Amino acid sequence: MNKHIFRSYDIRGVYKKDIDENLMRKIGNAFAQSVEGEVLVANDMRLSSESLARAFISGVNDAGKNVFSLGLVPMAVAMFHAWKNNLELAYITASHLPKEWNGVKFFHKDGIGFIDRENYKIRDTVIDEKFVKNEKGKTLELNSKEVMENYKNYLLSKLRAEKPLRIIVDCGNGTTGLVAKDLFEKAGFSVSVIFEKPDGNMPNRGGDPHEDGLEELKKKVGDADLGVAFDGDGDRVVLMDEKGNKLSSEETAYIIMEELGKEEGPIVATVECTHLIDDIAMRFNKDVIRTPVGHTFLVEAVHKHKACFGTENSGHAIIPSITPFDDAIPISIYAAIVVAKSGKRLSEHLSEMPHYPFTAKAFVCSDDKKFEIINKLEKRFSEEYDKVNTTDGVRIDFENSWVLIRASNTEPKIKLSLQAMDNEKLKEMKKKFSKILEDAIKQ
């Protein structure tokens, strides 16, 4: 078994290479030993997800625990049902990764995902083969359509547009195609959907809307007021203005805070978010709480600090007054409501924001080497620079600029992120630190 599939906040690997039904059954057994009470299991649209979910359920049942099986639904629908019914959740997915990947995310009853030590405890149980065989638990098949209606009705009790907008929604053949159109329409918008039908082959674009060009959405958004694009399981979102410009997560946060800034509580943002977050906080007289990158750390910090909003620049965000977990669907609807209420085009909102040149680049690096490389760079940079932050990877702060090098918790990659006050400085920094990172990987 490749132990590196057990990551900081989920389990992920290539299907039939790193992960299969036999291993997933063992993971299910180990998970059942780590939680109290009954378990909810659901899955995304990947070709292997249904069979992996069945194997996982079998492992949970072998450990003597009962399972509620929800099947194919957006991850937030499963999280909503688990939250409302006081259930632990296992959701079979590899989120935004390519179609050959799969895995599982675990969530507690309050919507907070498992953290690294909890996932590693499950890993150790699997490695040590400390499985249990109790009186077999039962599995109850839930009505997924009924659960999705409950989820939609809950969101619509909190989200209604005062003015209609024309919206193009790109579901990317992911799970959001099951609920997005109905939700946007009932919230008060005129909606067209592309790539709506869930398809594990992902035939039309990549799973990560931040990384993909979203060419089809760009073609169509000119006839609308704004575009929305989701990832496969519906926990990441990208907004696009009517001119075809993709908004960063911080720019989306800027729009959301136009309305949400009236609520009490700080803002939570990861160490990778740009200075635009600090501008937002200053504008609304709020503190910024910085966390490591990852939706689990983000949501946990929002709960801990009673924040009004949390975001990371991969497209995860949380408005706790709506749901206690990160969910891309209400985030996008809330942003659309703010734009509609303002009477301005989305591009006008963008033009009014401060802009900080930012870039990021991912470098391929094996899972068994990437953290070792980060540790060496931490030591080197701590000796060379004055302001070094090792909360998550290693971040160096300069006057009006910063660079962050961190190991991905979801892929065999190391990510370089940089922000500067002008493009020339950004280009210079990117060249310098790309060379440093490339050399470190080669060595």
In whole angstroms, give the CA distance from residue 423 to residue 107.
41
CATH (one of 1.20.1260.10, 3.40.120.10, 3.40.50.1950, 3.40.50.10860) for 3-144: 3.40.120.10
pLDDT block averages, 10 residues each, the chain of length 443: 86 96 98 96 98 98 97 97 97 94 95 91 96 95 98 97 94 97 97 97 93 92 96 95 95 95 94 89 94 89 96 92 96 97 95 90 91 94 93 90 90 92 93 96 90
**Is the distance from CB of 114 to CB of 82 less than 8 angstroms?**
no
Give the C-alpha separation, 177 to 236, whole Å. Answer: 14
Give the pLDDT score at 392: 87
CATH 3.40.120.10 maps onto the chain at 3-144, 158-352
Q: What's the pLDDT tens digit per position in 271-319? A: 888 889 989 999 999 999 999 888 888 999 999 999 999 999 888 999 9
353 phi and psi angles, rounded to 5 deg: -85, 150
Q: Is CATH 3.40.120.10 the right assignment for the domain spanning 158-352?
A: yes
Q: What is the pLDDT of residue 213?
A: 86
Ranges in the chain annotated CATH 3.30.310.50: 358-442
Tokens linked to 194: 């592309």
User: CA 142 to CA 84: how far, in whole Å?
Assistant: 14
143: CB partners within 8 A, 6+ apart: none
Residue pair 105/90 in contact by the 8 Å Cβ criterion: yes
Q: Which residues pair with 403 in a beta bridge?
A: 396, 418
Residue 120 token pair: 């590693």
* Cβ atoms 45, 93 nearer than 8 A: no
Question: β-strands 226-230, 237-241: how paired?
Answer: antiparallel
> Position of tokens 């024309």?
166
If one counts every other C-beta atom within 10 angstroms of the C-beta of residue 47, the result is: 14
| Fold type of domain 358-442 | TATA-Binding Protein (3.30.310)
CB-CB contact of 372 with 440 (8 Å):
no
Residue 437's φ and ψ, nearest 5 degrees, are -70, -40
Chain position carrying tokens 């937002």:
280
Torsion-angle region of 179 (φ positive above 0: left; ψ -120 to 50: alpha; else: beta): alpha
Rounded CA-CA distance 178/90 in Å is: 20
**Is the Cα dihedral 301, 303, 307, 309 positive or negative?**
positive
